[in-house]
Amino acid sequence: MKLDRYFSRRRFLDLESDDFEGSLKELLKTTVSRFKDLERKKLLPGLMQRESTMTTYLGNGVVLPHIRVKMRRKYVFAIGRSREGFEYEGLKGQEKVHLVVLLLAGEGAKDYLNVLAAVARLVKDQAFVDQLVRSQSLDELHDQMMAAFGGILAAPKKKRQSSINNLMLRQVMRIAKGAHCDSIAVFGDTISSGQIDVPEGFRDFNTVLVSRRAKDGEFIEDQPFDEMIQVRSFSNGRLAQMRSAFLVGLTRGVFRTHHKIACVGGLPGSDQFDTLMVIDLKDEFQALLAERENFMPADVSPEVLERVIGVAMELSIEGREGKPVGTLFVLGDTKKVESMTKPLVLNPFYGYKEEDRNILSPFMDETVKEFSGLDGAFIITGDGVLNSAGSLIHTPDFDQQLPSGLGARHAAGAAISIATDCLAIVVSSSSGQVTVFRSGIALPLVERSFGGRTL
Ligand SMILES: Nc1ncnc2c1ncn2[C@@H]1O[C@H](COP(=O)(O)OP(=O)(O)OP(=O)(O)O)[C@@H](O)[C@H]1O
């Protein structure tokens, strides 16, 4: 998502204040002086009120205060930098806020959550944030932000691609041709710079980049790929996230169920492709897709499933504060699902605006991880609104046989996926495995044990 058109050099400041409220006042002053239809008096209390109910801290010293306002423009950004940094409620130890990214969104702006998510994704990169904070001048800071938000990140220093990588890429083309594959998938995180030099003829294939870096083509403008699938968390496994990536690809229409895919990958950051495989999606997802061309429930949007799978993967791979966490997400057909659940605790999402408790908002990540410690399930609507956490599922007449070792949480996920038109995504606290249930059929996405490695 290109956001550079909403930035203006005039709204880049070196902050004089040493607290959050003072910084907001400075940023609002420069913004309001330019857009006369904005009412500063209402903006500051609105922003402070949001902050008191929900933090807008994104990590890495960046805070993203945001609010919807009545204005003609879709979005306005104002950026404040504090080299010394200032304290902010909830930050531990030496951590301070160095960058305030103020976002005002017009009431009609429809892709608000995507804009928040795009900013959150970029500032997840600590090195990028450090570079911004250390910029010599505001002009330099502005240029870097424009480049990053325009999708043209300063090109990373290019290493020459090794001859083995070239060979592997040529081989995957030969295999794709020989095995009549429909696409070639490259696991891009193998290469630390993200820059992949492809051999001649590569562009004749339908190609997909699977990477943690970014989505919607942000980073692949000058890359030789037709599509990009984002995976969210690091795993030491070579192609451990393959299944979730292909599932996401299926829901987004990048792949069809009858497709065969030639894949090349390696350990993340190793700069060495070392694995080639051919995946037949029909075989891979056989049980799940046996009955239907499209396994998505009618009301679930692919980006919401993608997000839930991403959070589930992070919980599986990283846990919560290093400890394994298990949880259950029930996605879609919410009315019917809710008729088969009862609260185990007071609902922590009660009373918040739907937009603020949508799983597509980057500020929900931490909240969801925090509440994953609760017993029971998250109930999520097909368009991403978190309706409740800590819900006990009780479905009628459930006698599904599950593989041994799978207990009550998996049984509940399987049962609700039979009783309603939903998807249930289970993270196992004991094995870290992530399993998607649809109509009682289980699809394991990542199989691992904590501390272990997966091929
Ligand atoms: N009917 C249910 N509805 C919602 N959550 C449930 C239900 N039954 C169990 N759980 C949740 O699952 C948790 C763990 O149960 P159990 O260990 O039997 O499940 P499991 O399938 O073996 O999962 P894990 O692999 O995480 O241990 C419970 O503490 C509870 O939070």
DSSP notation for 364-387: HHHHHHHHTTSSSEEEE-TT-BEE
- Distance (angstroms) between ligand 1 centre and the Cα of 326 equals 8
- Distance (angstroms) between ligand 1 centre and the Cα of 429 equals 9
Q: By C-alpha distance, which of 188, 217, 223, 219 is closest to 202?
A: 223
| pLDDT value of residue 451 | 35
Atom 4 of ligand 1, residue of closest alpha carbon: 376
Pocket residues for ligand 1 (CB within 6 Å)?
326, 328, 375-377, 392-393, 406-410, 412, 428-430
- Distance (angstroms) between ligand 1 centre and the Cα of 408 equals 4
| pLDDT value of residue 454 | 33
Do the Cβ atoms of 308 and 247 come closer than 8 Å? no
| pLDDT value of residue 359 | 94
Name the helix (H) or strand (E) containing 244.
helix 242-252
Q: What is the DSSP letter of 327?
A: E
Atom 21 of ligand 1, residue of closest alpha carbon: 407
| pLDDT value of residue 287 | 61
- Distance (angstroms) between ligand 1 centre and the Cα of 406 equals 9
- Distance (angstroms) between ligand 1 centre and the Cα of 410 equals 7
Cα distance between the two ends of the chain: 33
Atom 20 of ligand 1, residue of closest alpha carbon: 407
| pLDDT value of residue 330 | 98
Percent of the chain with pLDDT over 70: 85
Taking all residues of the chain, what is their mean pLDDT, rounded to a whole number? 83
Q: What is the pLDDT of residues 268-284, one digit of tens each?
A: 778 889 899 998 888 87
**Alpha helix stretches (DSSP H) within 347-441:** 364-371, 408-419
In whole angstroms, give the CA distance from residue 288 to residue 294: 10
Whole-model pTM? 0.75
| pLDDT value of residue 292 | 57
Could you give the maximum distance between any two Cα atoms of the chain, in Å? 67
Q: What is the pLDDT of residues 214-250, one digit of tens each?
A: 544 444 455 678 888 877 655 566 666 677 788 888 8
Mean pLDDT value across residues 126-133: 91
Q: By C-alpha distance, which of 343, 453, 324 is closest to 394?
A: 343
- Given the CA of residue 410, which atom of ligand 1 is nearest to it? 21
**Which residue has 């805070």 as its token pair?**
63
- pLDDT-derived band at 405, boundaries 50, 70, 90: low
